[in-house]
Copies of this chain bind each other. A is one copy, B any other.
Amino acid sequence: MATDAVSEEAPDAYARLVEKVKRISNVQNAGGLLGWDQQVMMPEGGTPARSQQLSTLSAISHELLVEDETGELLDELESQNLDEEQEAVVREVRREYERAVRVPTELVQQISEASSDALPAWEKAKAENDFEAFAPHLEKIVGLKREYAEQIDPDADPYAVLFADYEPYLPLEQAEEILEQVRETLVPMIAEIRESDADVTTDGFSRHAPFDEDEQEALSRDALTMLGYDWDRGRLDVSSHPFTSGTQFDARVTTRFDEDDPMGALMATIHEFGHAAYQLGLPDEHYGTPLGEPRNLSVHESQSRLWENFVGRSKAFWELFLPTFKEHFPQTGDVTVEEAFESANQVYEDNFIRVEADELTYHMHILVRFEIERALIAGDLDVADVPEVWNDKYEEYLGIRPETDSEGCLQDIHWSHGSFGYFPTYSLGSFMSAQLFAAAEEDIGGLDEQIREGEFDDLHEWLTEHVHRYGQRYETNELVKHATGEDFVADYFIDYVTEKYGELYDLDSA
């Protein structure tokens, strides 16, 4: 293309790129709705057709992205003077394009089909504690994802390639350093907690079980309303694994209930509220483009963990929320705020389930998965050996050994989705939430008092202003720096847990 013609063509080329990107995004969002429906609404018999539908949408979205025209538009636009937002769109599409052109449509389709088949197989295997029934599915998915990484970059560590699908702008080295730093703090802290004589209430609510599921759902709805969930753009439903799905116009959350543990459902609901708040905070006018989409998974998880841990598990929140809780469950009339707070923050002695883990041991659950999936993708571990290795690692890090695979390596849905490299983003997001909450407190001041009063507008606005509204305009470290003044680091999380758990468990190290 002649240079002198370019400046005149640039606006057209940008409009064409945006149109294309929106079309792709609409196809992907349609797929998102099909996925939500599959987990929340679809009758079981619908699986064969749904798998084909999802696979078709996935293939079409891939084909639209890798069309020659995409590359031509990007080439043209990269030689132009664009504003900061346009540059960000071009950067993000370029990245997606480069990764996509290296992966054949057929492979994308195979992964999508394998995942759709794996999902019901995993559900059944988990229900029946039958890892062997799931193993062929896992094996197939691992093989396909290795092939996927190989296609994108045959010279790179395949796990780093997969990790970059979720964390495109966080080098695996930085992530590992942060994880390592936290582990050095947590392992001795958890050990010290287990030897602590502190009298921490663990059964504030659970001693009053059972808790009716319909009533728990009403409680979850009250919590969402109190936190400021926009019901005009959302829903609450039940699924076997809580998740959030949607866009800035329609961000739906799910949760699940356990009659013995109302805290688990409530914290899951608040966690998903944080994800939905991020989606809903993305700018309406940029729907369908990178400027209207979430930055990446650690940032997404920072939002859910911030609301779950810094709001939902705070003493201030329980001063606010305990009366509502008691309205729904009058049998808990004798529970004190201190007991509720301690129950929400207890460090479990013998919990095998990641999604039911406390704030500290949670990251050990993640490390087990991180190490296993790295080894699987590297080809250093056979699928058949996963249960054994899983159980050994739980013994090593948490001093407990699962008795069944259902409460061991079959507990999570993620590998069925082919999501390798995803788990560490959960921990990274938790660490990031500490950094963001500290910055919000610095800017707003008195957040504790606001939470106690049920005033969440300032916090909500701060997060929208400093994180949500940017979509993918900034790279991860840039975004964190914009919001907090420095790159993403582990320090704030370490300070936070050291102080909180030091006090709670009378630790010497605090």
Contact = CB atoms under 8 A, between A and B. Distances in A.
Given A56-B23, A232-B45, A235-B41, A250 B50 contact: yes
Given A49-B248, A49-B249, A60-B60, 19 more contacts: A22-B52, A23-B56, A26-B56, A26-B57, A27-B56, A27-B60, A29-B53, A30-B30, A30-B57, A33-B33, A41-B235, A42-B250, A43-B231, A43-B233, A45-B230, A45-B232, A45-B233, A45-B250, A48-B249
Interface string A39-63: 0011111111110110111001000
Nearest to A247: B49
A424 interface: no
Contact of A43 (B29, B49, B232, B284): B232
A250 B49 contact: yes
A30 B284 CA distance: 24
11 contacts: A23-B56, A26-B57, A27-B56, A29-B53, A30-B53, A37-B37, A41-B41, A43-B234, A45-B233, A49-B249, A52-B287
A34 interface: yes
B49 A232 contact: no
A41 B250 CA distance: 11
A288 interface: yes
Interface of A: 22-23, 26-27, 29-31, 33-34, 37, 41-50, 52-53, 55-57, 60, 230-235, 246-250, 252, 284, 287-288
Contacts of A49: 29, 247-250, 287-288
Contacts of A27: 56-57, 60
A27 B234 CA distance: 25
A249 B53 contact: no
Q: Which 9 pairs show the lowest CB-CB distances between chains A and B? A: A46-B250, A45-B233, A26-B56, A49-B249, A45-B232, A26-B53, A30-B53, A46-B249, A49-B247
Nearest to A231: B43
Contacts of A248: 49
A37 B43 contact: no
Contacts of A230: 45
A30 B56 CA distance: 9
A45 B235 contact: no
Contacts of A233: 43, 45-46
Contacts of A33: 33-34, 37, 53
A48 B287 contact: yes
Contacts of A56: 22-23, 26-27, 30
